[in-house]
């Protein structure tokens, strides 16, 4: 059977994927975003298809239900909420995972028929500030540039973007261009020395939240260098362009000079800029500089917002944010709401914007939301002040959650659970960060009773009496309606126009190749945009909640290379878990002199706390702590960082300040640290602190720490995994609290349990995990089990290249044998020759491993 | 120089060889009480079990002794010493003159004095004749009791069981080899030997051996009667010091010697089980051989001193490797244990002040040398303590 041409569901790059029904996945060589490349997560997509924990049937009040019953219950819940609270007592919280058609349907239900603006997307957490910045500068939410501008530029500035990990394919395109044109420069502006800094020409370790000051400084510098613009608002903007960067003056001067002197400059910004109480100002401060320098919409030049999710852009296009209407229409432009009301025949159309995410859950917590429908996202984990969000979800009388997985903390709290289609099953379109609309196509049958989200929405609408406006036959019909809407005669001109796609036949829609908007007429395609822009004054404001004596450190949250969101998709994939198998908090060693590397530390903020394993990283900016946001109650209940994150938001975009929360660190003293590898999950309640890590087929890795006496813990944990006819190999040194055990039956490893007072005394887990598939472990190897390493062998080391399973030690050995470039390491070990996501890490190893002189 | 070595056991034979090598001009005589050529007494258990032949036990064949210039005198028990004359008198009243004398008379197995201890069918386990007696008894099959569950007793029990006898070991302590093993390893050993058909009565003490014309049963203190046609007593040894004592050499439990293995008479040395150094007698072959080396060097005029090293003992029973060394009974020591239930492997390491003081290995004794070295050198193990029990292959010491 021929491969199905579809798109990757992970990040905003929107790579094309060729997928076969058996789950084999490769990059689509014809897709303009990736030209055949895939990153580590994309490469492992096939492994996410048959996940345990799929939600296969509707559930109501914890019991399996028919779709009819479940949909009736949803309709009843919303009817009651409308009766009790009016339209503002209903809400939808949706996701950049939805396809444009699902998004469109959800938005139409909320704004058009429930009559509420209360539909917000998790994109609010991701790029709402960029949207708001675009609208202030361009009058419309649009990204002027194209990916190829990153290749054409002579200077690329990454602001708050760990592109190497979060958008690996774009980073590889950039690195390939730099390899071809070594004169091209890369500047990284980030409080952390991230993987993206490997090989960068300049890293500006800016303090969290100071980006506005930096770009204000740049604006003044450009003006002083003679740059001028006729765009409105320059004088007021210059007058407001204040703020100190706190950067080393020499580094700063280099950056200012490079930017001023390089016409082809792209400033790419992402969550590090957006997730801030000054996020919108950051976007505008960046755009202001490009505007003054005349560098917008030119080949190799422009401000470039890159989104986190695969279809954040699609959500923005259909208006599935509380602050926008469909098709880039606005409430505050006279006539636009009326035009939409007429088009939809929706007399109840919401009169104004609804509650943005943080406000929405606050309202739910105050009992003001009677019915809330969450689709394809996990707010119980991802929202700031997440403890309170959990309470709000608990308090909502009718909480509906649509998802493809049952394994989500939000699903746990839902009254009604609706099984959604997952990637590979659903059908529709997505828009990537360079405005390219691509089809996501199904190549697998729907499992169980899972159904498309748009269908569930239409079914509920019909039950509420609105069958006509939702009587679509399929996604093609929805797409045509959406495309036609963008061609509405609009009082103000709009760049966003899909009129040329509004009469696609079903067959044409099915075969639709990637196309960049605007498409005002059939057969045309958009390119770079040069919108009319204005300057926006961006006076510097420090983060909403400053650090101080009680909470002296600034917490930043972010992403790991191989994880996605709240791990619902990537968490169960062992290969993806292998890269960073424990929840960690990174800090500059000098900021934690009393907390050892590898010890457990409690992060305390005025909002909550979390306990994570501390890592000393000299690449961290002083005064900051970095924590990945992925961990959930499923995997590490104590490490859910968003419970500690402040709920401050940007006053314009409503985007939460996930990149700056004042915190303090306290030791979390433990009697013992340890791990248990077992053939089944023993849950997350094994010890005072537990992280559960899927490590293979029927193989689970539990990281633990506890406060009970180690010998007691050892006995208790051994009893949990004991099995008939199995026998232990045991090593015990009670005087030093060292306890190690392996359980075997007929040479087959069933479990490994290691405890020690000091986490550094525990061996790496990788080698032990690799033994579980062995059919028979020989006598000689039995004792090696308790060493955690083969006798006389090199100590196991972390896997760097997950595509080819290459460990750091192997890479270092090849470097020591003379492989002194990425290419030579790749030849010698295959590391970095798959998806390439690990190349920055290999580069780091190259930088620190001495290479022998040629003989 | 004339050197006479009395006793052709492992220590005496080794000493004679070293003397001959060091002093080619000297006349070295080796006088043994047994008729055999010097043989590996330690391997008698193999002979008993049928894993070795008498020939294969011979350590010093006649041509070898001859080529070294050693005058070997088998079946030559010495009756007396005339130290004033510098002569040893054989049982046949032959006088052997010496300038230097080495006493390597070894020890005798103890025969407990309860009723019936001298009945036919009651044998000791010490020399080749004892083994021959056991083999004769075993030929007719039947039941055997081994009194004493120490190293020798167990080796005898295993050998007899291998010959088809039904064997019961009567042992005074709750687990076998209590001087070498802790209770856990002893229990493993008991169960392993049980699988070879050996039964244990322990803790138990024998009060009598019953029988009219020959041994028929062993009576225990609790009244239990264990029928047996063969009774092997393996309850310990007594150093053979009569010759020395009667010649006026100072003795305590054994012949007292200095660091050079020299007795109070500067012309007379004593080595092996008949020697007592600094209040200690040895019962193992390795230190006996070291003493032989020291005495040979001293007689050759070289500086030599014997320093006792940690004792190490191993049970020589095929399929059941047991080894221990050092102090394994220190109740205040820190213990590291390694247990493999399915493979019946066990290790117990005793530490004090970050140093290894004792070790018990059961089931796999391949790393014995590593531990013996650590015990002997008293090297700190702090840097690799977590891997210590796993053996040298896992010890990665910081360079």
pLDDT per position as a tens digit, A713-761: 999 999 999 999 999 999 999 999 999 999 999 989 999 999 999 998 8
- Tell me the three state secondary structure of residue A565: coil
Give the residue carrying structure tokens 């590490």: A636
Which tokens hold the place of A452? Answer: 């498309």
Residue A578 pLDDT > 70: no
Report the C-alpha gap between B187 and B181 in whole angstroms: 9
Please tell me whether residues A20 and A40 are part of one structural domain: yes
Q: Do A728 and B386 touch (CB under 8 A)?
A: no
Please tell me whether residues A361 and A496 are part of one structural domain: yes
Between the alpha carbon of residue A448 and those of residues A42, A419, A421, A615, the distances in Å are 25, 9, 10, 43
Task: Give chain B positions within 8 Å (CB) of A760.
Answer: none
Closest C-alpha to A115, from A77, A86, A72: A86
For A643-686, write each residue's pLDDT tens digit: 999 999 999 999 999 999 999 999 999 999 999 999 999 999 99
Compute the average pLDDT of residues B39-60: 87
Q: Do A728 and B339 touch (CB under 8 A)?
A: yes
State the nearest Cα–Cα gap between B386 and chain A, in angstroms.
7
State the nearest Cα–Cα gap between A577 and chain B, in angstroms.
28
The verdict on residue A695 lying in a domain is yes
Minimal-distance CA residue of chain A relative to B389:
A731
Tell which of A764, A787, A810 closes a domain: A787
Please tell me whether residues A11 and A31 are part of one structural domain: yes
Minimal-distance CA residue of chain A relative to B353:
A735
Task: Give chain B positions within 8 Å (CB) of A738.
Answer: 336, 385-386
In sequence order, what are the beta bridge partners of B237? B109
The verdict on residue A627 lying in a domain is yes
The verdict on residue A546 lying in a domain is no
| A53 C-beta neighbours (distance < 10 Å), count | 15
pLDDT value of residue A228: 97
Please tell me whether residues A41 and A188 are part of one structural domain: no
Query: What domain range is A814 assigned to?
Result: 799-848
Report the C-alpha gap between A797 and B223 in whole angstroms: 64
B129 versus A283: the higher-pLDDT residue is A283
- When mean pLDDT is compared across A195-209, A303-317, A481-495, A825-839, the lowest value belongs to A825-839
- Please count the CA atoms within 13 angstroms of the CA of B323 that sit on its side-chain side: 17
Q: Do A791 and B336 touch (CB under 8 A)?
A: no
What is the bridge-based pairing of β-strands A624-628 and A553-558?
A: parallel
Give the residue carrying structure tokens 């972010």: A558
For A680-711, write each residue's pLDDT tens digit: 999 999 999 999 988 888 899 999 999 999 99
Which tokens hold the place of A604? Answer: 């305390």
Q: Do B337 and A784 touch (CB under 8 A)?
A: no
Tell which of A667, A696, A731 closes a domain: A667
Residue B399 pLDDT > 50: no
Please tell me whether residues A326 and A187 are part of one structural domain: no
Report the C-alpha gap between A169 and A152 in whole angstroms: 16
We report the CATH number of the domain holding residue A839 as: 1.10.10.1100
The verdict on residue A753 lying in a domain is yes
Please tell me whether residues A335 and A478 are part of one structural domain: yes
Report the C-alpha gap between A380 and A364 in whole angstroms: 13
State the nearest Cα–Cα gap between B340 and chain A, in angstroms.
4
Q: What is the ipTM of this complex?
A: 0.71
pLDDT value of residue A654: 96
Quote the mean pLDDT of chain A: 92
Of B385, B390, B393, the CB nearest to A786: B390
Q: Is the dihedral of CA A326, A331, A335, A337 positive or negative?
A: positive
| A773 C-beta neighbours (distance < 10 Å), count | 12
Q: Do B394 and A791 touch (CB under 8 A)?
A: yes
The verdict on residue A205 lying in a domain is yes
Percent of chain A exceeding pLDDT 90 equals 76
- From the candidates A787, A790, A793, which should be mutated to test the interface with B, based on the most B CB atoms within 10 A? A787
Length of chain B measured in residues: 399
Residue A806 burial class via C-beta count within 10 angstroms: exposed 0-12, middle 13-18, buried 19 and up? buried
Tell which of A29, A48, A67 closes a domain: A48
3-class SS string, A245-306: CCCCHHHHHHHHHHHHHCCCEEEEECHHHHCCCCHHHHHHHHHHHHHHCCCCCECCEEEEEC
A847 versus A423: the higher-pLDDT residue is A423
CB A323 within 8 A of CB A654: yes
Q: How many CB pairs under 8 A join A and B?
A: 68
The verdict on residue A69 lying in a domain is no
Q: Do B393 and A791 touch (CB under 8 A)?
A: yes
Which tokens hold the place of A597? Answer: 């590397």
State the nearest Cα–Cα gap between A594 and chain B, in angstroms.
24
pLDDT value of residue A855: 45
Report the C-alpha gap between A555 and A628 in whole angstroms: 11
Compute the average pLDDT of residues B350-366: 91
| B109 C-beta neighbours (distance < 10 Å), count | 19
Please tell me whether residues A375 and A287 are part of one structural domain: no
3-class SS string, chain B: CEEEEECCCHHHHHHHHHHHHHCCCCEEEEECCCCCCCECHHHHHHHHHCCCCHHHHECCCHHHHHHCCEEEECCCCEEEEECCCCEEEECCCCEEECCEEEECCCEEECCCCCCCCCCCCEEECCCHHHHHHHHHHHHCCCEEEEECCCHHHHHHHHHHHHCCCEEEEECCCCCCCCCCCCHHHHHHHHHHHHCCCCEEECCCCEEEEECCCCCCEEEECCCCEEECCEEEECCCEEECCHHHHHCCCCECCCEEECCCCECCCCCEEECHHHEEECCEECCCHHHHHHHHHHHHHHHCCCCCCCCCCCCEEEEEECCEEEEEEECCCCCCCEEEEEEECCCCEEEEEEEECCEEEEEEEECCCCCHHHHHHHHHHCCECHHHHHHHCCCHHHCCCCC
Give how many domains chain A has, as a whole number. Answer: 6
Task: Give chain A positions within 8 Å (CB) of B390.
Answer: 731, 783-784, 786-787
Compute the average pLDDT of residues A242-255: 96
Report the C-alpha gap between A246 and A197 in whole angstroms: 19
For A282-332, write each residue's pLDDT tens digit: 999 999 999 999 999 999 999 999 998 889 999 999 999 999 999 999 998
Give the residue carrying structure tokens 């050499």: B249
Please tell me whether residues A114 and A138 are part of one structural domain: no
Between the alpha carbon of residue A544 and those of residues A184, A262, A540, A551, A814, the distances in Å are 37, 34, 12, 14, 49
When pLDDT is cut at 50, 70 and 90, the band that residue A389 belongs to is very high
Residue A796 pLDDT > 60: no
Closest C-alpha to A276, from A531, A617, A540, A9: A540
Please tell me whether residues A435 and A505 are part of one structural domain: yes
Compute the average pLDDT of residues B178-192: 86
Q: Do A783 and B390 touch (CB under 8 A)?
A: yes
Please tell me whether residues A293 and A256 are part of one structural domain: yes
CB A461 within 8 A of CB A109: yes
Please tell me whether residues A350 and A458 are part of one structural domain: yes
The verdict on residue A525 lying in a domain is no
Please tell me whether residues A706 and A745 are part of one structural domain: yes
Q: Do A728 and B341 touch (CB under 8 A)?
A: yes
CB B102 within 8 A of CB B31: no
For B240-279, write each residue's pLDDT tens digit: 999 999 999 999 999 999 999 999 999 999 999 999 999 8
Compute the average pLDDT of residues B25-34: 95
Q: Do B386 and A729 touch (CB under 8 A)?
A: no
Task: Give chain B positions within 8 Å (CB) of A779.
Answer: 343
pLDDT value of residue A775: 87
pLDDT value of residue A314: 93
State the nearest Cα–Cα gap between B397 and chain A, in angstroms.
12
We report the CATH number of the domain holding residue A594 as: 2.40.40.20
Residue B398 pLDDT > 60: no
Q: Do A730 and B339 touch (CB under 8 A)?
A: yes
Chain B contacts to A (CB-CB under 8 A): 334-343, 345, 351, 385-387, 389-391, 393-394, 396
């Amino acid at each position: 059977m021929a491969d199905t041409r579809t798109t990757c569901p992970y990040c905003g790059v929107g790579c094309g994927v060729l997928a076969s029904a058996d789950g084999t996945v490769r990059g689509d060589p014809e897709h303009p975003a990736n030209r055949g490349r895939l990153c580590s997560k994309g490469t492992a997509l096939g492994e996410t298809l048959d996940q345990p924990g799929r939600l296969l049937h509707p559930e109501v009040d914890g019991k399996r239900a028919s779709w009819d019953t479940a949909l009736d219950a949803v309709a009843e819940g919303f009817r009651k909420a409308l009766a009790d609270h009016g339209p503002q007592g209903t809400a939808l919280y949706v996701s950049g995972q939805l396809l444009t058609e699902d998004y469109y349907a959800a938005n139409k239900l909320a704004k058009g028929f429930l009559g509420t603006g209360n539909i917000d997307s998790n994109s609010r957490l991701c790029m709402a500030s960029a949207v708001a910045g675009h609208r202030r500068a361009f009058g419309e939410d649009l990204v002027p540039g194209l990916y190829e501008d990153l290749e054409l530029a002579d200077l690329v500035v990454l602001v708050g973007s760990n592109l190497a990990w979060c958008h690996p394919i774009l980073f590889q395109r950039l690195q390939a261009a730099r390899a071809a044109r070594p004169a091209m420069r890369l500047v990284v502006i980030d409080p952390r020395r991230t993987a993206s800094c490997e090989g960068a020409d300049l890293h500006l370790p800016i303090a969290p939240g100071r980006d506005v000051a930096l770009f204000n400084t740049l604006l003044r510098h450009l003006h002083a260098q003679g740059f001028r613009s006729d765009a409105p608002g320059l004088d007021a903007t210059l007058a407001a362009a204040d703020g100190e960067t706190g950067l080393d003056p020499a580094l700063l001067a280099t950056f200012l000079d490079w930017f001023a002197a390089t016409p082809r400059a792209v400033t790419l910004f992402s969550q590090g800029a957006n997730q801030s109480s000054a996020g919108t100002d950051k976007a505008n401060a960046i755009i202001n500089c490009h505007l003054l320098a005349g560098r917008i919409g030119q080949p190799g030049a422009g401000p470039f917002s890159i989104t986190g999710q695969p279809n954040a852009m699609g959500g923005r296009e259909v208006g599935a944010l509380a602050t926008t209407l469909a098709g880039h229409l606005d409430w505050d432009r006279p006539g636009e709401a009326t035009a939409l009301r007429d088009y939809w025949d929706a007399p109840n159309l919401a009169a104004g914007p609804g509650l943005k995410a943080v406000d929405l859950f606050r309202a739910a917590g105050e009992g003001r939301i009677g019915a809330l429908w969450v689709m394809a996202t996990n707010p119980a984990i991802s929202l700031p002040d997440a403890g309170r969000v959990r309470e709000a979800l608990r308090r909502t009388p009718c909480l509906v959650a649509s998802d493809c997985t049952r394994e989500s903390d939000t699903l746990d709290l839902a009254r009604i659970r609706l099984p959604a289609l997952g990637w590979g099953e659903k059908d529709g379109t997505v828009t990537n960060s360079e405005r390219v609309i691509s089809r996501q196509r199904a190549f697998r049958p729907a499992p169980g009773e899972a159904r498309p989200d748009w269908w569930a929405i239409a079914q509920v609408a019909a039950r509420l009496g609105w069958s006509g406006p939702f009587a679509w036959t399929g996604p093609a019909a929805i797409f045509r309606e959406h495309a036609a809407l963008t061609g509405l005669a609009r009082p103000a001109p709009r760049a966003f126009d899909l009129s040329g796609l509004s009469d696609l036949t079903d067959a044409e829609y099915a075969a639709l190749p990637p196309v960049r908007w605007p498409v005002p007429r059939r057969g045309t395609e958009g390119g770079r945009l040069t919108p009319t822009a204005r300057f926006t004054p961006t006076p510097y404001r420090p983060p909403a909640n400053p650090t101080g004596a009680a909470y002296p450190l600034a917490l930043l949250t972010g992403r790991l290379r191989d994880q996605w969101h709240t791990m619902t998709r990537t968490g169960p994939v062992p290969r993806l878990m292998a890269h960073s198998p424990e929840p960690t908090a990174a800090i500059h060693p000098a900021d934690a002199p009393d907390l050892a590397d590898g010890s457990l530390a409690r992060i305390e903020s005025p909002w909550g706390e979390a306990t994570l394993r501390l890592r000393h990283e000299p690449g961290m900016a002083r005064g900051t702590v970095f924590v990945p946001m992925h961990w959930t109650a499923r995997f590490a209940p104590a490490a859910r960082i968003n419970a500690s994150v402040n709920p401050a938001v940007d006053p314009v975009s409503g985007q939460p300040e996930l990149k700056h929360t004042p915190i303090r660190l306290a030791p979390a003293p433990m009697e013992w640290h340890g791990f248990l590898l077992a053939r089944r999950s023993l849950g997350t309640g094994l010890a005072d602190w537990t992280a559960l890590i899927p490590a293979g087929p029927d193989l689970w890795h539990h990281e633990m720490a506890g406060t009970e006496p180690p010998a007691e813990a050892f006995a208790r944990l051994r009893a949990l995994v004991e099995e008939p006819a199995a026998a232990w190999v045991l090593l015990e040194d009670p005087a030093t609290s060292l306890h190690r055990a392996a359980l075997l039956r007929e040479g087959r490893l069933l479990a490994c349990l290691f405890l020690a007072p000091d986490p550094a005394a525990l061996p790496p887990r990788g080698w032990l995990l690799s033994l579980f598939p062995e059919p028979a472990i020989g006598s000689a190897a039995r004792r090696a089990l308790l060493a955690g390493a083969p006798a006389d062998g090199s100590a196991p080391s972390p896997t760097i290249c997950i595509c080819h399973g290459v460990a750091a030690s192997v890479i270092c050995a090849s470097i020591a044998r003379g492989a002194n470039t990425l290419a030579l390491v790749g030849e010698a070990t295959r590391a970095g020759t798959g998806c390439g996501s690990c190349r920055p890490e290999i580069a780091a190893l190259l930088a620190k491993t001495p290479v022998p002189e040629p003989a | 120089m004339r050197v006479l070595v009395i006793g052709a056991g492992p220590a005496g034979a080794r000493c004679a060889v070293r003397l001959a090598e060091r002093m080619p001009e000297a006349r070295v005589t080796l006088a043994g009480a047994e008729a055999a050529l010097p043989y590996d007494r330690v391997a008698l258990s193999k002979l008993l079990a049928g894993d070795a032949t008498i020939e294969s036990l011979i350590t010093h064949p006649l041509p070898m002794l001859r080529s070294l210039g050693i005058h070997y005198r088998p079946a030559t028990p010495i009756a007396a010493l005339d130290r004033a004359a510098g002569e040893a008198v054989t049982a046949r009243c032959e006088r052997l003159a010496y300038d230097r004398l080495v006493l390597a008379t070894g020890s005798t197995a103890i025969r407990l004095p309860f009723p019936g201890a001298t009945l036919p069918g009651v044998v000791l386990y010490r020399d080749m004749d004892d083994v021959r007696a056991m083999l004769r008894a075993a030929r007719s099959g039947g039941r055997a009791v081994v009194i004493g569950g120490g190293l020798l007793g167990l080796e005898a029990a295993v050998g007899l069981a291998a010959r088809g006898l039904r064997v019961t070991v009567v042992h005074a302590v709750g687990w076998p080899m209590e001087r070498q093993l802790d209770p856990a390893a002893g229990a493993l050993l008991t169960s392993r030997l049980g699988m070879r058909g050996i039964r244990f009565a322990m803790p138990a003490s024998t009060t009598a051996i019953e029988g009219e014309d020959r041994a028929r049963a062993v009576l225990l203190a609790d009244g239990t009667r264990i029928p047996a046609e063969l009774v092997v007593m393996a309850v310990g040894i007594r150093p053979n010091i009569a010759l020395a004592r009667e010649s006026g050499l100072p003795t305590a439990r054994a012949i007292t010697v200095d660091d050079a293995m020299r007795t109070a008479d500067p012309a007379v040395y004593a080595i092996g089980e008949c020697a007592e150094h600094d209040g200690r007698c040895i019962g193992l072959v390795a230190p006996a051989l070291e003493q032989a080396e020291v005495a040979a060097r001293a007689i050759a005029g070289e500086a030599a001193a014997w320093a006792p090293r940690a004792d190490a003992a191993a049970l020589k029973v095929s399929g059941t490797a047991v080894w221990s060394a050092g102090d394994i009974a220190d109740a205040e020591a820190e213990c590291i244990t390694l247990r493999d239930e399915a493979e019946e492997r066990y290790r117990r390491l005793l530490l004090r002040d970050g140093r290894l003081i004792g070790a018990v290995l059961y089931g796999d004794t391949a790393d014995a040398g590593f531990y013996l070295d650590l015990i002997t050198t008293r090297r700190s193990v702090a840097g690799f303590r977590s891997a210590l029990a796993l053996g040298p292959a896992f010890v990665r010491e910081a360079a």
